[in-house]
């Protein structure tokens, strides 16, 4: 045994460093208690080398030294994955060591401080920084607002998600992407828009970084499974929510924005939240009978702008169903 090796117990050193994944700094701090003598950090490292115990690469060592997280514990659960998927479908991103996906962290930048903070709130397990801005970026040709940025600590959980979303360095839509009320709401807040022109209301989800195949073969079918019917917008490479699914869309994500800066995204004509005749009576044959009572004024209802749909509030729906069941 070399005389310069300060730690004489290889098995215990291996257990502390490899099995328990303690850092050289942590081993140094407890060396007096564990080994009966104080061992400097450099001496711990030299002992690892002398015993041919594989040492961690620099990025992983830095991650362990700087992170206040327990990187040997996973914080992933289904609710967190739903949040991550909505975050990454929209404004969020995962930055990582190119080629290895190690030392990954979640990050976001937005002109809305409230949104940047809210988007990170579901990732609190990974200790995100407070959303802050470096100030205004002055461009004479196009004045801009300051960008508020936030990033999490690095963690192996995030490395796994980076591999899922950026397998070859380019962002993709994973086949197992979660399309749930949580993920859709985050996606809409980050990259969704709604607007009314004349009698038409358009609601869309931006997907400019995804391929048409990912939209048509993954996202649109998954939305359809929860009764949100959509079409592919070839012109802008986005997803357009069909007018007869706008009510279902907001019933799914909620009718009020969780953050005030995006209240405007939830302002849509009230008639869109009424039920159509087709929603109440799916059978085409039965609808023909119902139309008789509507046209005769026996059952009250309203019509959409342009007169395309018969619309019913809850009381009118109840009256129609009672009349149909009495026949």
Confidence (pLDDT) at 76: 93
- pLDDT band with cut points at 50, 70 and 90 for residue 2: low
- 171 in a domain, yes or no? yes
Q: What share of the chain is helix, strand, coil (3-state, %, to 5)?
A: 45, 15, 40
Q: Considering only residues 230 and 201, tell me which one the structure prediction assigns the higher pLDDT.
A: 230
- Mean pLDDT in the chain? 87
Query: Is the pLDDT assigned to residue 284 strictly greater than 80?
Result: yes
Q: What is the pLDDT of residue 56?
A: 67
Average pLDDT value for residue range 93-107: 85
67 in a structural domain: no
**119 and 160 inside one domain:** yes
The tokens describing 47, both together, are: 């002992």
CA distance 162 to 168: 10
Instruction: Indicate if the pLDDT at residue 1 is higher than 70.
Output: no
Name every residue whose Cβ is closer than 8 Å to that of residue 132 and which is 6 or more positions away in sequence.
Answer: 148, 149, 150
What is the number of helices (H) and of strands (E) in the chain?
Answer: 14, 11
Cα radius of gyration (the chain)? 28
Q: Is residue 1 part of a domain?
A: no
In-domain check, residue 253? yes
Q: Which residue has the tokens 């328990």?
A: 20
> Which candidate, 115, 59, 61, places its Cα nearest to that of 87?
115
Q: 208 and 257 share a domain?
A: yes
Q: How many domains is the chain partitioned into structurally?
A: 4
Do 146 and 91 belong to one domain?
yes
pTM for the predicted model, two decimal places: 0.71
CA distance 47 to 42: 9
Mean pLDDT of 90-100: 86
Whether residue 113 is contained in a domain is answered as yes
- Are 156 and 82 in a shared domain? yes
Q: Is residue 132 part of a domain?
A: yes
Structure tokens at 149: 């940025």
Residues 126 and 134: beta-carbon distance below 8 Å: no
Give the number of C-alpha atoms closer than 13 A to the C-alpha of residue 52, restricted to the C-beta side.
1
What is the per-residue pLDDT for 90?
A: 92
Domain region containing 278: 274-325
Q: Is residue 5 part of a domain?
A: no
pLDDT tens string 136-166: 555 556 556 788 999 999 899 999 999 999 9
Q: What pLDDT is recorded for position 17?
A: 81
Of the three residues 271, 287, 307, the one that is the final residue of a domain is 271
The CATH number covering residue 161 comes to 3.10.28.10
Answer yes or no: is 65 within a domain.
no
Residues 241 and 280 in one domain: no
């Amino acid at each position: 045994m070399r005389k310069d090796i300060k730690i004489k117990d290889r098995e215990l050193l291996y257990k502390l460093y490899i099995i328990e994944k303690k850092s050289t700094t942590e081993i140094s701090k407890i060396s007096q208690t564990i080994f009966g003598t104080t061992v400097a950090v450099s001496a711990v490292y030299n002992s690892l080398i002398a015993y041919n115990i594989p040492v961690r690469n620099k990025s992983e060592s830095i991650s362990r030294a700087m992170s206040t997280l327990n990187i040997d514990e996973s914080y992933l659960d289904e609710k967190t994955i739903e949040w991550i998927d909505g975050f990454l479908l929209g404004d969020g991103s995962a930055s990582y060591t190119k080629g290895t996906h190690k030392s990954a962290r979640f990050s976001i930048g937005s002109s809305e401080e409230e949104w940047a903070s809210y988007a990170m709130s579901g990732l609190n397990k990974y200790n995100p920084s407070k959303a802050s801005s470096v100030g205004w970026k002055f461009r004479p040709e196009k004045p801009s607002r300051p960008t508020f940025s936030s990033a999490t600590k690095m963690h192996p959980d995030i490395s796994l998600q980076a591999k899922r979303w950026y397998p070859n360095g380019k962002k993709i839509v994973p086949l197992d992407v979660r399309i749930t009320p949580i993920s859709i709401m985050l996606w809409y807040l980050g990259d969704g828009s709604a607007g009314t022109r004349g009698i038409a209301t358009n609601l869309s989800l931006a997907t400019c970084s995804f391929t048409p195949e990912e939209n048509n073969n993954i996202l649109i079918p998954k939305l359809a499974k929860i009764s949100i019917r959509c079409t592919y917008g070839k012109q802008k490479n986005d997803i357009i929510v069909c007018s007869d699914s706008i009510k279902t869309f907001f019933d799914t994500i909620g009718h009020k924005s969780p953050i005030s800066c995006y209240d405007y995204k939830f302002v849509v004509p009230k008639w869109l939240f009424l039920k159509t005749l087709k929603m109440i009576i799916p059978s085409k044959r039965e609808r023909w009978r119902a139309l008789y009572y509507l046209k005769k004024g026996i059952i009250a209802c309203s019509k959409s702008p342009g007169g395309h749909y018969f619309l019913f509030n809850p009381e009118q729906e109840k009256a129609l169903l009672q009349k149909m069941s009495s026949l």
